[in-house]
């Protein structure tokens, strides 16, 4: 569909939605609808709007993906509260969707490798919200560290090859494993020694590559 036609269609939809809300707020139209479900539906429409905008732009612009997926996360958060899904689960899902929005930017637009960083960082924070204890802290730090390791691997396939992501990545993974090792979980008892060996190998690899090229 032509981009101009899409703008007209979406304009009509927005106008009709505004008229509908005006009728509700002025009590001209009375519906027994839960406020939570109403706002959940509105955020769902916002999600459809931004995704429609992304498609109408022929996927040449990535930015509609971010507010679009976040609107979907808000819709699920409010709908979850409406069905009694309270506590940190809903908040964790919403934070996870924020990270997912940046992850989709990288998946559909790989040249924007920077999106991996907010995707991994925000997604890792959701782990802390889900678990709410020292296990969550350890998993969050590990997730952040693995984000930088993933960034290093991604950059190997581009012209912008950098080894610096291994520094914060190794430190964060190590700190995360320490929390798991000294926490109530026995997970770290088995993973920490192996992880230290792997981190050491990762740190050695850039030096071996440099020495191999100079000889």
Band of residue 160 on the pLDDT scale cut at 50, 70, 90 = confident
Domain ranges of the chain: 33-132, 133-206
Range of lowest pLDDT (25-39, 69-83, 163-177, 179-193): 179-193
Rg of the chain, C-alpha, whole Å: 23
The pLDDT assigned to 189 comes to 58
Query: What is residue 89's predicted lDDT score, i.e. its pLDDT?
Result: 80
Q: Averaged over 22-49, what is the pLDDT?
A: 74
C-alpha closest to that of 169 among 128, 132, 210, 206: 206
pLDDT score of 212 more than 60:
no
- Once rounded to an integer, what is the mean pLDDT over residues 64-75? 92
Give me the pLDDT at residue 187, please: 55
Mean pLDDT of the chain: 79
Read off the pLDDT of residues 94-124 as tens digits, 9 standing for 90 and up. 899 999 999 999 999 988 999 999 999 999 9
Measured between alpha carbons, how far is 103 from 117 in angstroms, rounded to an integer?
A: 9
HSE of 154 in the Cβ direction (CA atoms, 13 Å)?
17
Rounded to whole angstroms, how far apart are CA atoms 168 and 156?
17
Q: Percent helix, strand, coil in the chain (nearest 5)? A: 80, 0, 20
Distance from the Cα of residue 141 to its chain's centroid? 16
Nearest in space to 50 (alpha carbons), one of 16, 2, 101: 101
The closest of 93, 101, 99 to 64, measured between CA atoms, is 101
pLDDT, tens digit (0-9, with 9 covering 90-100), for 142-152: 999 999 999 98
| Alpha-carbon distances, residue 109 vs 114, 115, 146 (angstroms) | 11, 9, 21
Q: How confident is the model at residue 191 (pLDDT cuts 50, 70, 90)?
A: low
DSSP codes of every residue in 26-59: TTSS-----HHHHHHHHHHHHHHHHHHHHHHTTT
């Amino acid at each position: 569909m032509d981009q101009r036609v899409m703008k007209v269609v979406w304009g009509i939809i927005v106008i009709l939605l505004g008229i509908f809300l005006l009728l509700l707020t002025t009590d001209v139209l009375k519906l027994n609808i839960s406020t939570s479900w109403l706002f959940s539906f509105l955020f769902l429409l916002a999600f459809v709007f931004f995704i429609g905008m992304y498609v109408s732009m022929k996927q040449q612009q990535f930015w509609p993906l971010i507010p679009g997926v976040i609107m979907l996360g808000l819709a699920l958060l409010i709908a979850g509260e409406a069905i009694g899904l309270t506590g940190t689960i809903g908040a964790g899902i919403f934070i996870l969707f924020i990270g997912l929005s940046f992850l989709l930017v990288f998946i559909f637009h790989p040249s924007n490798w920077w999106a991996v960083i907010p995707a991994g960082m925000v997604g890792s924070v959701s782990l802390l919200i889900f678990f709410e204890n020292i296990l969550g802290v350890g998993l969050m730090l590990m997730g952040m560290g693995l984000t930088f390791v993933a960034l290093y691997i991604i950059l190997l396939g581009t012209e912008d090859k950098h080894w610096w992501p291994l520094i914060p990545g190794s430190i964060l993974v190590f700190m995360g494993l320490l929390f798991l090792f000294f926490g109530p979980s026995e997970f770290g008892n088995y993973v920490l020694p192996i992880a230290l060996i792997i981190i050491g190998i990762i740190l050695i690899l850039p030096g071996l590559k440099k020495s191999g090229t100079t000889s």
